[in-house]
């Protein structure tokens, strides 16, 4: 599995959380495995702070638990857990899309069209990392257009 390049930017902790979440769901980080801040930060070539923020966020999602002086441990995930998360995300995503459709500006719509064009190119080029990044960017654009930051945060 290739390691994505992480540039310094405000959503770095979100990128790290997405990276770790994917490893958990793919089984690269199985239940019971420890994830250590310093080790992951070194692996990704970033500071410990965004890694810590990401792991605390994943703890809040119920994917990790924290062991004092030992680090974070991956919790077991069932098929039901995955289905539950997908159902909630689908519902919230639908509400956000509906709100975005009512209030999106021409500029926001043009930006989404541009991202969609780039996303299609990434898919055709089998650029998985680029496609994931662009998909996230597209949905972030919809979420911003929805004007519901608290709801978008739940995603």
For residues 68 and 17, state if they share a domain: yes
Range of the domain at 123: 79-154
For residues 23 and 63, state if they share a domain: yes
The pLDDT-based confidence of 4 (bands split at 50, 70, 90) is low
For residues 68 and 89, state if they share a domain: no
Phi, psi (deg, nearest 5) at residue 34: -85, 140
Q: Percent of the chain scored above 90 by pLDDT?
A: 67
pLDDT for 78 beyond 70: yes
The pLDDT-based confidence of 20 (bands split at 50, 70, 90) is very high
Q: Give the model's pLDDT for residue 109.
A: 96
Q: Give the model's pLDDT for residue 115.
A: 96
CB 13 within 8 A of CB 54: yes
Q: Which residue has the higher pLDDT, 31 or 9?
A: 31
What are the start-end ranges of the E strands in the chain?
A: 34-35, 64-67, 71-74
Total domains, the chain: 2
Q: Tell whether 1 is covered by a domain.
A: no
Q: Tell whether 5 is covered by a domain.
A: no
CATH of residue 44's domain is: 1.10.10.10
Q: Tell whether 130 is covered by a domain.
A: yes
Distance CA 102, CA 6 (A): 34
For residues 66 and 86, state if they share a domain: no
For residues 85 and 134, state if they share a domain: yes
Q: Give the model's pLDDT for residue 6.
A: 53
In whole numbers, what is the pLDDT of the chain averaged over residues? 90
CATH of residue 142's domain is: 1.20.120.530
CB 17 within 8 A of CB 64: no
Single residue among 32, 57, 74 that ends a domain in this structure:
74
Q: Give the model's pLDDT for residue 8.
A: 47
């Amino acid at each position: 599995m290739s390691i994505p390049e992480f540039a310094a930017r405000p959503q770095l902790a979100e990128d790290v959380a997405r990276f770790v979440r994917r490893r958990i769901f793919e089984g690269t980080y199985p239940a019971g495995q420890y994830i250590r801040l310093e080790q992951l930060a070194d692996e990704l070539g970033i500071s410990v702070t965004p890694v810590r923020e990401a792991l605390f966020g994943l703890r809040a999602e119920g994917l990790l638990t924290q062991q004092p002086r030992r680090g974070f441990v991956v919790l077991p995930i069932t098929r039901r857990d995955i289905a539950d998360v997908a159902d909630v995300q689908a519902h919230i995503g639908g509400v956000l899309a509906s709100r975005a459709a009512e209030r999106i500006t021409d500029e926001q719509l043009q930006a989404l069209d541009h991202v969609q064009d780039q996303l299609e190119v990434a898919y055709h080029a089998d650029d998985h990392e680029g496609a994931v990044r662009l998909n996230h960017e597209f949905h972030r654009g919809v979420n911003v257009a929805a004007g519901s930051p608290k709801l978008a945060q739940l995603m």
